[in-house]
């Protein structure tokens, strides 16, 4: 990561878009019982200069990040999307020491909101801290 511009990380990043998994998150009983589709995007900031020479590293990280999202979304129920996003970010840092910042967007396309919308969601950006596990 080169730095932070306007509070947003800058530099190289791995991008995963449109991950879709079935989960049981929400505060309503039917959400926890029936579940629904969740849409997730992840940006993981890291130095990709070496990875440009070792394509296997990028593929492995993309596969592992996808596995983390799948584990969290399909795992135990959370009441809030914020909790789902935070769990994905935390597990990403725990499992990948190369990642210095992560952006996680979690969308819920089927919500009980009047009006037309593609999804309701949250987006968080987290930075690795000095005391974060390697």
Active site residues: 108
Beta bridge partners of 40: 19, 106
Percent of the chain that is helix, strand, coil (3-state, to 5): 30, 30, 40
How many of the other CB atoms lie within 10 Å of CB of 50?
10
- CA dihedral of residues 33, 71, 67, 97 (deg, nearest 10): 150
Is residue 87 within a helix (H) or strand (E), and if so which, with residue range? helix 81-95
| Rounded-to-integer distance, Cα 109 and Cα 100, Å | 30
Token pair belonging to 3: 């730095």
């Amino acid at each position: 990561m080169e730095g932070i511009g306007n509070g947003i990380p800058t530099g190289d990043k791995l991008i995963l878009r449109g991950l879709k998994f079935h989960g049981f998150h929400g505060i309503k009983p039917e959400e926890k019982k029936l579940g629904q589709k969740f849409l997730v995007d992840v940006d993981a900031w890291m130095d990709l200069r070496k990875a440009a020479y070792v394509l296997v590293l990028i593929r492995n990280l993309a596969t592992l990040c996808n596995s983390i999202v799948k584990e969290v979304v399909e795992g135990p129920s959370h009441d809030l999307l914020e909790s789902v996003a935070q769990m994905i970010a935390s597990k990403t840092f725990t499992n990948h020491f190369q990642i210095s910042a992560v952006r996680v967007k979690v969308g819920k396309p089927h919500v009980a909101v009047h009006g037309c919308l593609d999804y309701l969601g949250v987006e968080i950006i987290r930075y690795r801290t000095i005391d974060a596990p390697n």
